[in-house]
Amino acid sequence: MVDMYIVLTGCAEQGSSNPFAASLDGGYTEVHDEIQPAGSGTVQTASGAITASVTASGGSGSYTYSWSVSELTDLNNAFSVNSTGTTNTATYNTLVLNCNIPASALDPPNDAVYEISCTVSDGVASDIVVSFNLAVNAIGV
């Protein structure tokens, strides 16, 4: 009688033990108030005033980042993107917005909402998109 054995070679992984994930770090800017003297006209937010960071884990371990900014609301057409800044790092803090300050301190603030998103890729798994809304207020004093 001859004994027969079955030999299996290769990888039989049924899902990664370390799946690709990405999340927004705490401490991101949700509201930015640009307070300037009334009648200042158009002013710019400071680079670094609006910040966010993403943490990626698992997957291949080689991550790329792509930040984007979309205006959701701006009823008075008082805001615009001056510069998106550096958009390919885990931390995004170089967005600069133009803000139109109201003419009088008695005027209500101008406000807008932007969606800030980061697409994270590890080059292997599907991309992950994390985003948050940023409320911006232009206040004349």
Residue 16 lies in a domain: no
CATH number for the domain harbouring residue 35: 2.60.40
Task: For residues 123-130, give the mean pLDDT.
Answer: 93
Under the phi-then-psi rule, with left for phi > 0, alpha for psi from -120 to 50, and beta for the rest, what region is 39? left
Task: For residues 55-71, give the mean pLDDT.
Answer: 95
Residue 12 lies in a domain: no
Residue 6 lies in a domain: no
Residue 119 lies in a domain: yes
Residue range of the domain that includes 86: 23-140
Residue 31 lies in a domain: yes
User: Could you report the per-residue pLDDT of 72-123, keeping only the tens digit for each?
Assistant: 999 999 999 999 999 999 999 999 999 999 999 999 999 999 999 999 999 9
Average pLDDT in the chain? 87
Residue 15 lies in a domain: no
Least confident range of 15-19, 29-33, 86-90, 109-113: 15-19
Q: What pLDDT was estimated at residue 137?
A: 95
Q: What pLDDT was estimated at residue 27?
A: 67
The answer to whether the CB of 71 falls within 8 A of the CB of 114 is: yes
Residue 72 lies in a domain: yes
Rounded to whole angstroms, how far apart are CA atoms 130 and 116? 9
Q: What pLDDT was estimated at residue 11?
A: 32
Q: Which residues contact 25 (CB under 8 A, 6 or more apart)?
A: 52, 53, 54, 55
Residue 110 lies in a domain: yes
Domain count, the chain: 1
Q: What pLDDT was estimated at residue 38?
A: 95
Q: What pLDDT was estimated at residue 17?
A: 65
Q: Which residues contact 20 (CB under 8 A, 6 or more apart)?
A: 56, 57, 58, 59, 60, 122, 124, 125, 128
